[in-house]
Structure 1
Amino acid sequence: MSSNPKSVYSEVLPIAFALLFGTAFISCQSDSSTSVPATWTHYGGSPEQSKYFDAGEITKQNVSQLEVAWVYPTEDELPYFFSPIIVDTVMYLMGKNASLIAVNAVTGKEIWIHSNLNGITRRGINYWESKDKKKKRLIFTINNTLQAIDAVTGKSVLEFGDNGYVDLREGLDRDPTSIRRMQSMMPGVIYDDLIIMGSAPGEAYFSPPGHVRAYNLETGKLEWTFHTIPHPGEYGYDTWPKDAYKYVGGVNVWSEISVDTQRGIAFLPLGSPTYDYYGADRIGSNLFGNSLVALDARTGERLWHYQTVHHDLWDYDLSPAPQLLQVNRNGKQIDAVAIATKHGFVFVFDRVTGEPLFPIEEKPFPPSEMPGEEAWPTQPISTLPSFTRHEVTEETLNPYFPDSVRQVWLGRLDSARSGLYVPPSDQYETIMMPGALGGSNYGNTGADPEKGILYVMTQEHASIYKLNKVEPPKIDLSVNEIKRVQALYATTCQTCHGVDMEGGVGPSLLNVGQHMFYDEFRSTVVNGRGQMPGFVHVDEETLRALYRYFGGNPMSFNFRRNIDTKTPEGPVVASGGASIKSDEKRGSPMSDYPEGVDHPSARFTTDYGLEWPGLAAPPWSSILAYDLNNGTIKWRRPIGQDSLYVQGDQSKGAPGGVLRKGMIITSTGVVFVTAKGGKLYALDEENGDLLWEETLSHEVNAQPSMYVLNGKQYLVINATSNFARDSYDHSKKEGALPKGYVVYALPD
């Protein structure tokens, strides 16, 4: 095995030999026990999404000896967020201009490349094989369609769906041609011959609903639909206003679905209804918003549910994977499911009955002062210890703030309100801790299932909200809009597109609105394009203001698809996926209530208030181990490194944000964790003590993977993101590795 990334990458197999080589690797296994691979075939390792791996080579005693076995460079300027999967001896990853690539999991040699999959879900794909193992497929979403690629040849499976694809816009109570965004940024989950799919329909007024659907993996046929916003006659319909299903959107699974494969139960972590922060048009508790729902995975029938937030006004949707564990309670072993939340709570239930294993109390909270709004009078509070703070005060302000900034914030705190479940207002700022991107998010939970230990990664970032009345669109920007757009640009766009919008890693954005229609611009920002990630938390009003800031008129629309068709070097076997037919006519996105439906006279919106991620004192991120046998936090450890607001020697930093990172829990008691600043840790499961630490040459923004081949255990880290601050840019240091997938193993 070579530790030289260039030697791995430069040896390109001829296409014919690559296909033959790939077929042999996928199809054959030795009878020797040391040759049978333990692989990572799902985003979270398995349909249970536990991130748990059973292998014995890497232990607490030798983990510090891990070294780079090989690297696969992506050869791209912009980051990838893809979590590789490994099937038998083949690793599937993404690189080279949004291409899916199959490589030899021992050497990193390319087997095949399916290039130019622009618009593909950026965080992962699914693998499925038929019971006779004759059909092996990679399943993924791209440009609002579900598609399949032959895992052996790398070519599109054209008998899947309608000439190679399924239109995910269909069957959602809306005109399919009016839907601009549907596919989730996460892969679905495989159960038997079904793929169960979530979605990301958007979070604006009149976004499509996030119904959960299951498709047959052989044919692409829709097998069942679970209406997350109930239709008339369905359970939960009376928790909404009459006909709400016709205009309310969201209530979607945009993250990880977990499946108890033995019982055939799918556990859905459902998100918030739209609009997130003002719900006068959805008075009621709003099932199944913000609920953990257990479904029969074969039929989609609801078995039980629990709502963690009633009538959500804070974007506290359920994000991380529900974790399936065995716990001992009162001398009895119980199969449990645990869910961690954005707002810092852990809820634990009997997996079969839905009965809480630890008490949950309904506690009163303040009413809303907004016209027409009716905040739910109580909210469920778990009696398990919380893992986040719930307010920002003078005492908890970031101590690294310069005095001038601190004084400004002391004044803002005097006129703002902060605390758990304080409803947003148009009269004052509401400082929520944690905010829209705080707490535990997708990829941020794992488990040691047999020991009953739940692992939670948490990010303590606040959001600052203030509702504004939605006014008719206008071209000129107000002072407040300019401030909001400039803050968004500084935190989201500037790293790639430059301080003056003149370009850098990414292209220039100067006057981009004059040569890109709004619909195309919106789709690019929200869904991403090529290696540019999508930014799902930018609301419609801010998108329109940003477009005007770039010189455009948001009332113009265009439905062209501009795709960079550059073909990378290597064994390219196909390009672009299945050919998607253009709509003969395109409907406009829903923009008002259906005729005859009662609705409020005004709408209010706010942005996500993310411009001050380090408002409170560090640590900003930590990992915790919950012992769910007794309901205690076993240990807590700050992780990551960030120079945010730190004065003086910024290389020291403070524990930084953990969102979009991940973990692996091993059977030998080693917990691998990735964190901000390019950090990779190996921790002791017993106490959280540090066993090994590595600083990667590039930032990590994906779930790590693990596999065993020929008795050798490998750890895969996707290190393809840029560092946000120069003081943390390790890519320029001597011996730095290229952007790519870094594979670690113990020395021979």
Structure 2
Amino acid sequence: MINLLTALVFGAIGLVLAIGGAQLIALSGSPYFLAAGISLILTALLVLLRRVEALWLHGLLILVSLAWAYSEVGFDWWQLGSRGGLIVVLGLWLMLPAVRRGLGRPETPARAEKPASVLPVGLPVLAAIAVAGYSLSVDPLDKAGSLPEDKVVSAPAYGGQVPDGEWHQYGRTPFGQRYSPLDQITPENVDTLKVAWTYQTGDVKQPGDVSETTYQVTPLKIGDTLYVCTPHNWAIAIDAETGREKWKYDPNVGLNPDRQHQTCRGVTYYADPQATAGATCAARVYLPTSDARLIALDAATGAVCESFADKGVLHLEQGMPYNPAGYYYSTSPPVVAGGKIIIGGAVNDNYSTQEQSGVIRAFDVKTGALIWNWDSGNPGQTAPIAAGQTYTANSPNSWSVFSVDEQLGLVYVPLGNQVPDQIGIGRSENVEKYSSSIVALDINTGADRWVRQTVHHDLWDMDVPAQPVLLDITKDGSTVPALVGPTKQGDIYVLDRRTGQPIVPVKEIAAPGGAIEDDFTAPTQPISDLTFRPDRLEEKNMWGVTLIDQMMCRIAFHKLKYDGQYTPPSLEGTLVYPGNFGTFNWGSVAVDPERQVMFGMPTYLAFTSRLVPRDQVPPKEQSEKGSEQGLNRNDGAAYGVYMGPFLSPLGIPCQAPPWGYVAGADLRTGEIAYKHRNGTVMDMTPLPLPFKVGVPGIGGPTITKGGVAFLGAAVDDYLRAYDLTTGRELWKARLPAGGQATPMTYSLGDRQYVVMVAGGHGSVGTKPGDYVIAYTLAE
């Protein structure tokens, strides 16, 4: 009976591998899978015939598999395991005495008493286990190193007059460095951090919410108060010492299934220098909402400041050529500079060609009167548009966070692409110039001073997603006002923020062609010398929990159109790598302006896109509207597009891990110092397995003068602390929900606190929640 069961198992697995392996060979893929399948089928036959040669054949297969796996991936345990695990497990099966007892020549009477020798398969199994054990002790993909510890400058420019113990803007100051001058928490004592208080907002995910309902807020800290917003756009003031709620404001945004996102990354604080201390609305909190409003609140009480705009409410849909509810809103906090509040907006990706404009507007911070508008579709007209006039439909928009240098008089805007993202047919000259770029606008007039494009003729949704980071870089004996711009492609642009010219060199490289009819591709694409772009994927980079799903991923890889990065979208399906989430996203990077180094979380997750002719797009009521996964309708365009992560049949990434790192780089030299796997599969699998694979994430880091970097973001539910110099993990705290937000730090009295929001992220499927958690050192 055991022989029959063994033969059935080996034969079934062998048949699957043989059929898939033959298909893979037809696609010019590896011959290993067909050979392995045939070997398993022959082993099954030998077991049925009770031949001891079954052990020898499978032992040989183990050795051949080991050699093949090493030739492809070296001593990378996670890739060796997926190639050899199934074959070794089958070898262990054959080593069972009950199986070996049934093997031997039929004329040998003693066969029922004495099993066949275990050595033919046992020795290869031991060899495989030895290789696995060694590979667990090394990581060939780890880049170890250290950032320079010397302070380049002793009194760096942080941007803005923000006390050391406070956090006044999304990135702490208008420069967006996500750097705190606090140094009480150090690599030596960070492991004693304990929860100081926990506050729950009460804003939890609703049954009618859109899938991408996420909690991405970075709190502000002014005086003794924290200010936060929630996914449904509540504004809340919290006592910074105790976590006690001071006030709460609910703008009643309701639920709208046409919103692509339901989130809030932060509020904006403004104190009127001319107001009498203690007067109503002397200090304000500006709240952006998902129904396209900007609401001014009294920072002390949460009451609406009715002197602003229309009884405290600025309606952002004014001047838009189209106004379908839910298609436009601001997910990120605006910036205040020169008496103006400057704001962009998120336009739903790939819903329709009849969508709102991506205009950037500056309003009087006190009254809400429009001062200037910069529309990338009509960039020459920055004076407020006249009554009855509208902005350009579907012009590239900015959904992320701006940075400001008031001394230079510039606001730095990361721009996205035009809807539809994957179809470039008929784009205007202005769209071609400004899409997927960083633009410097004059604070007073809105005129653009310079533009640095990071993708030409973007067909891949490669928005510039992150707040540009400003610092002064000392190089060759002089100080240069610099801008650090992370991109989805993985490039870090280090530019002179006065002119947009590169400090770290940028060059053009050849890009693939082959666009669909009536579209085109740019012949070259820019790349920075400081880049975290991944290498081109090959068949050997495909992965799976087992040999079978790895084979299926290899087959899928060969069926997709892929000529490397910037392969254009296609009707047959294109592999997009880096994918739509990008190598960097809205979490940006953190920069130490004293040491002039950066810390970030590059993520690697391939996507696919497949264009669908308009007449083949399902009726609206039978299909999704648009998202990072599924059908994006692109109503009004010639094609819809199916998009999503490149996943195996088991729902895990088809490309091999690591999918996420932490990394440090020297901004003066452009050298990457270290790059380490980040995060575990603890919350990615049915079983809580703490394997440090290196997982995807979305969110940003914060670093401190104490030499510690803090980061949540990864899809396992932890807040972590790292040594900024080496990237070594120093401490972690389990979170009650996904931590896809950027932490911040502040001080009260003689204590430094670190605050993390844990509320989950709809797109990456982490656990939702409503937690604001503060940590401080043990007494």
Provide the TM-score with structure 1 as the length reference.
Answer: 0.72
What are the within-5 Å matches in structure 2 for residues 607-646 of structure 1? Answer: 607-610=642-645, 612=647, 614-642=653-681
Q: Indicate the residue corresponding to 1:395 in structure 2.
A: 540
Kept after mapping to 2: 8 A contact 1:194/1:214:
yes
Q: Partners of 2:360 and 2:407 in 1: how far apart?
A: 21
Q: Partners of 1:97 and 1:180 in 2: how far apart?
A: 13
**CA 1:43–1:538 in 2, change beyond 3 Å: closer, same or farther?**
farther
**CA 1:97–1:309 in 2, change beyond 3 Å: closer, same or farther?**
closer
Which of 68, 76, 100 in structure 1 is aligned with 2:235? 100
- The percent identity for this pair of structures is 29
Q: Indicate the residue corresponding to 1:664 in structure 2.
A: 702
1:120-153: per-residue Cα shift (whole Å, max 9, x none)? 8522111111013541111022211211111112
Q: Partners of 2:542 and 2:299 in 1: how far apart?
A: 51
Q: Indicate the residue corresponding to 2:247 in structure 1.
A: 112
**CA 1:191–1:72 in 2, change beyond 3 Å: closer, same or farther?**
same
Kept after mapping to 2: 8 A contact 1:207/1:250:
no
Kept after mapping to 2: 8 A contact 1:325/1:450:
no
Q: Indicate the residue corresponding to 1:431 in structure 2.
A: 575
Are 1:261 and 2:300 matched, yes or no? Answer: no
Kept after mapping to 1: 8 A contact 2:471/2:481:
yes
Which of 445, 469, 482 in structure 2 is aligned with 1:299? 445
Larger radius of gyration: 2
Q: Indicate the residue corresponding to 1:67 in structure 2.
A: 194
**DSSP-derived class of the 2:742 partner:** coil
1:244-288: per-residue Cα shift (whole Å, max 9, x none)? x98751411111111123322211111112221111121657121
Deviation for aligned residue 1:326: 2.3
Deviation for aligned residue 1:117: 3.8
Q: Partners of 2:725 and 2:410 in 1: how far apart?
A: 31
Per mean C-alpha deviation after superposition, the further-off stretch among 712-721 and 468-477 is 468-477
What are the within-5 Å matches in structure 2 for residues 358-377 of structure 1? Answer: 358-377=504-523
Which of 194, 204, 220 in structure 1 is aligned with 2:368? 220
Deviation for aligned residue 1:643: 5.3
Q: Relative contact order: is structure 1 or structure 2 higher (C-alpha 8 Å, sep ≥ 6)? A: 1
**CA 1:314–1:712 in 2, change beyond 3 Å: closer, same or farther?**
same
Are 1:86 and 2:213 matched, yes or no? Answer: no
What are the within-5 Å matches in structure 2 for residues 555-566 of structure 1? Answer: none
The alignment yields a C-alpha RMSD, in angstroms, of: 3.0
Deviation for aligned residue 1:723: 10
**DSSP-derived class of the 1:361 partner:** strand
Are 1:124 and 2:216 matched, yes or no? Answer: no
Deviation for aligned residue 1:298: 2.4
Kept after mapping to 2: 8 A contact 1:444/1:458:
no
Are 1:747 and 2:778 matched, yes or no? Answer: yes
Are 1:420 and 2:561 matched, yes or no? Answer: no
Kept after mapping to 2: 8 A contact 1:257/1:267:
yes
Q: Partners of 1:301 and 1:146 in 2: how far apart?
A: 23
Q: Partners of 1:247 and 1:268 in 2: how far apart?
A: 18
1:7-55: per-residue Cα shift (whole Å, max 9, x none)? xxxxxxxxxxxxxxxxxxxxxxxxxxxxx87211211212211111111
Provide the TM-score with structure 2 as the length reference.
Answer: 0.69
Q: Indicate the residue corresponding to 1:136 in structure 2.
A: 283
What are the within-5 Å matches in structure 2 for residues 310-321 of structure 1? Answer: 310-321=456-467
Q: Indicate the residue corresponding to 1:457 in structure 2.
A: 601
Deviation for aligned residue 1:156: 0.9
Q: Partners of 1:196 and 1:255 in 2: how far apart?
A: 12
**DSSP-derived class of the 2:249 partner:** strand
Deviation for aligned residue 1:402: 2.7
Deviation for aligned residue 1:164: 2.1
Kept after mapping to 1: 8 A contact 2:216/2:263:
no
Q: Indicate the residue corresponding to 1:356 in structure 2.
A: 502
Kept after mapping to 1: 8 A contact 2:702/2:711:
yes
**DSSP-derived class of the 1:230 partner:** coil
Which of 601, 608, 633 in structure 2 is aligned with 1:541? 633
Deviation for aligned residue 1:472: 7.7
**CA 1:673–1:378 in 2, change beyond 3 Å: closer, same or farther?**
same
Q: Indicate the residue corresponding to 1:516 in structure 2.
A: none
Are 1:159 and 2:303 matched, yes or no? Answer: no
Q: Indicate the residue corresponding to 1:241 in structure 2.
A: none
Q: Partners of 1:476 and 1:125 in 2: how far apart?
A: 35
Q: Indicate the residue corresponding to 2:725 in structure 1.
A: 686
Deviation for aligned residue 1:232: 7.2
Kept after mapping to 2: 8 A contact 1:339/1:347:
yes
Q: Partners of 1:647 and 1:104 in 2: how far apart?
A: 38
- In structure 2, the gaps of 5 or more residues are 1-162, 206-213, 255-261, 277-281, 383-389
The residue identity in structure 2 corresponding to 1:347 is Y
- In structure 1, the gaps of 5 or more residues are 1-35, 235-244, 486-521, 527-534, 543-590, 593-601, 732-737
Q: Partners of 2:702 and 2:242 in 1: how far apart?
A: 22
Kept after mapping to 2: 8 A contact 1:614/1:644:
no
Q: Partners of 1:327 and 1:307 in 2: how far apart?
A: 22
Q: Indicate the residue corresponding to 1:31 in structure 2.
A: none
Q: Indicate the residue corresponding to 2:549 in structure 1.
A: 405
Deviation for aligned residue 1:476: 9.1
Which of 460, 469, 472 in structure 2 is aligned with 1:326? 472
Deviation for aligned residue 1:710: 1.0
Deviation for aligned residue 1:84: 1.6
**CA 1:329–1:193 in 2, change beyond 3 Å: closer, same or farther?**
same
**CA 1:649–1:101 in 2, change beyond 3 Å: closer, same or farther?**
closer
Q: Indicate the residue corresponding to 1:275 in structure 2.
A: 420
The residue identity in structure 2 corresponding to 1:619 is P
The residue identity in structure 2 corresponding to 1:130 is D
The residue identity in structure 1 corresponding to 2:774 is V
**CA 1:367–1:95 in 2, change beyond 3 Å: closer, same or farther?**
closer
The residue identity in structure 2 corresponding to 1:136 is A
**CA 1:643–1:741 in 2, change beyond 3 Å: closer, same or farther?**
closer
